Amino acid sequence: MVVMGGIVGSGIFINPYVVARQVHTPFLILGAWIVGGAVALAGAFIWAELAATLPEVGGQYAYLREAYHPALAFLYGWVLLLVIQTGGMAAVSITFARYFLEIMPWQVPEWITATSALGILTAINCLGVKTGGRTQSLLMVLRIVAIAALVTAGLWAALARRGVALQSPPAFSGGSLTSFLAAMVPVLFAYGGWQTANFIAGEIREPRKNLPRALFAGVAGVIVLYTAVNWVCVRALGPAGLAQTTTPASQVMRVALGQKGARFIAVAIAVSTLGFLSQTILTAPRVYFAMARDGLFFRAAAWLHPRTRVPVPAIILQSVWTVVIAVSGRYEQILNYVVAMDFLFFGLTASTLFVFRRRAGGRSEYAVPGHPLTTSLFIAACVLVVLSTTLRYPGNSLVGFGLLLAGIPVYFLWSGRRRAIPAS
């Protein structure tokens, strides 16, 4: 549930139209989501081996620290806090507020609704991993129910209207390849999030056995859900109709069940955003905790509640910064370079597998299928995403890289303080 919860957010209800505007045939639309799922599954296999190799709290932070250098690990945690995690959370919290206020007769500012949701979920996850995990599981089950309802209603609408038949594969040209690569950016963004389960590897029973199973089962389940949603969108609306709407899930439900259906999916999207926020609050602060434990961040972030054993200050810090971004209203701009930063560190983290394999003499308790080919292909996909987003949004991408470079002097400041702290 944590793996699936980290992936399934509001994107699957919105992103299908973005893909349909890049590629215009059912075959290519569904093909993009299947290829994206294959990339995510390749990443999950890599993270599964990394979890078996180094089952520590902090996930990517720990892998980069042990394989390369604490400075690179610090830069990951730095960007995660300032951009990747909090920027995404801010945008999602505002998305929740908009859909929640749409179905409620209340006249409340969006930022109050967004910050209230963040506050409640933060308090829940401060109560402990079990409480946060149960909340996450409940929200994930509700999301699966919502997606199942969307698929069922869409299938009914497609059959009633006789739908749009899937076509034979079109001839691939240079222009088609360029469009397909452009379509892969929102697809890969929608599939992102499976890696966050590794943040809590040190808090899972038998992580070497259970985390690889969870990664494989979770990502495979999301591939099925995503492919089913896009199949019914294409069948019910057709490629042209899908490309014309910015709310494909609402449109499918409206076609199938009228306005009541559209209202139902608005509730489902609100639940999905809550589930994403809950999962993020549960997992990402373990990175800041690991940084503080290494002496590279505020000491308070390494404090664990004596009873629940959760890093309460780290959780609160992340939520407070998320609120700042959400209230500032600049989260949409930040999201433009979230993707570049996220996939930059995906590629770097995947490359650590070669380092760990070499140190272990090529042996591993859990082996990635097809390594080194599959691992290399995943890294290449990450490089492609970074290049595509940088070329498409050069200004915002430069801001992201600027924030990344700004972390270098901060690292030397913290590392200098660490050396000054007595060993006792």
What tokens appear for 31 in the block?
A: 């093909």
pLDDT greater than 50 at residue 295 = yes
The identity of residue 383, as a single letter, is V
Give per-residue pLDDT as tens, 99-132.
Answer: 787 777 777 887 888 889 898 888 887 776 666 5
The domain at 2-418 falls in which architecture? Up-down Bundle (1.20)
* Predicted pLDDT of residue 335: 62
What tokens appear for 121 in the block?
A: 């979920």
Could you give the CA distance from residue 380 to residue 350 in angstroms, rounded to a whole number? 10
* Predicted pLDDT of residue 420: 37
Residue with tokens 């990344």: 404
Give per-residue pLDDT as tens, 11-23.
Answer: 777 788 888 888 8
So where are the chain's domains? Answer: 2-418
* Predicted pLDDT of residue 74: 92
* Predicted pLDDT of residue 422: 38
pLDDT greater than 60 at residue 331 = no
Q: Per-residue confidence at 174, pLDDT binned at 50, 70, 90?
A: very low
CB-count exposure of residue 296 (10 Å: 0-12, 13-18, 19+): buried
Q: What does R_g of the chain's alpha carbons equal in angstroms?
A: 21
Longest Cα–Cα distance of the chain, Å, equals: 74
218 vs 300, higher pLDDT: 218
What tokens appear for 352 in the block?
A: 């650590």
The SS3 of residue 305 is coil
**Which backbone phi and psi does 335 adopt, to 5 degrees?**
-60, -25
Could you tell me which of 286, 339, 284, 328 has the C-alpha nearest to residue 114?
328
Mean pLDDT of the chain: 80
Give per-residue pLDDT as tens, 344-393.
Answer: 999 999 999 999 999 887 666 667 888 889 899 999 989 988 887 788 77
**What is the DSSP secondary-structure string of 313-381?**
HHHHHHHHHHHHHHHHT-HHHHHHHHHHHHHHHHHHHHHHHHHHHHHTTT--SS--TTTTHHHHHHHHH
Segment among 125-129, 196-200, 332-336 with least mean pLDDT: 332-336
